[in-house]
Structures are given as structure tokens and as C-alpha cells.
Amino acid sequence: MTEVTFPSMSTGGCGTGVVATWFVTEGEAVHTDQLIAEVAMDKVDAEVLAPADGTISLEVAEGGEAAEGSVIALIQ
């Protein structure tokens, strides 16, 4: 199982952002480097790419808050 984490976007690395868009749905097959999400923090956006092949389960709903480094999805 591979964890997908909220990317580091601030200098301190301890901020909180929002999972703005999920481009994949619960249980969908994903492949490495596929665009799966877009996150936002303090007017800065970042793309999240799948770190592994597998089936994804979403741990944070679209629009939900998440801390930098926290798990937002799992790939099995």
C-alpha cells in the first residue's frame, strides 16, 4: 500500500490546505504519475501525481482540509 500525502507547500511545512479537486474517483485504477488531484494553500496551487500503480481510495473529500504531509489517499 502506498500513501498519497498532501505536498509540502510552505517554508515551515506545517500548514493546512484544501484538496480542491479530485480528478479520480473512489476505487478507480490509477497509474504512476497520473494527475489525481489539485490542492491549494494560501492562493498557491499544486498538482498531485499518483506515486504508484494500483486502486485508489480517497481519504479526504473534495473541498476538505488537510495538513501538509498528511495522507489524502491510499493506493493498493
Partner 1 sequence: MTTASHETAQRTTEPTRAPLPVEPDPGTRRLSTAKAMVEAIAQQMRSNEEVFVLGEDVGAYGGIFSSTTGLLDEFGPDRVRDTPISETAFIGLATGAAVEGMRPIVELMFVDFFGVCMDQIYNHMAKIHFESGGNVTVPMVLTTATGGGYSDGAQHSQCLWGTFAHLPGMKVVVPATPYDAKGLMTAAVRCDDPVVYMFHKGVMGLPWMAKNPRSVGPVPEEEYEVPIGKAKVVREGTDLTIVTVSLSLHHSLDVAEKLAGEGIDAEVIDLRTIVPLDREAIAASVSKTKRLLVVDEDYQSFGLSGEVIASVVEREPTALTAVERVCTPDVPIPYAHDLEYAVLPTRDRIEAAVRRLAGAK
Of 10-29, binders to partner 1 (CB under 8 A) are 18, 20-21, 23-24
Q: Of the candidates 13, 16, 33, 45, which one interacts with partner 1 according to CB under 8 A?
A: 45
Q: What is the Cα–Cα distance from 68 to 7, expressed in whole angstroms?
A: 6
Sign of CA dihedral 44, 71, 8, 47: negative
Please say which residue, 1 or 33, places its beta carbon nearer to partner 1: 33
* Neighbour count for residue 49 (Cβ, 10 Å): 14
- Residues in touch with partner 1 (CB under 8 A): 18, 20-21, 23-24, 35, 38-40, 43, 45
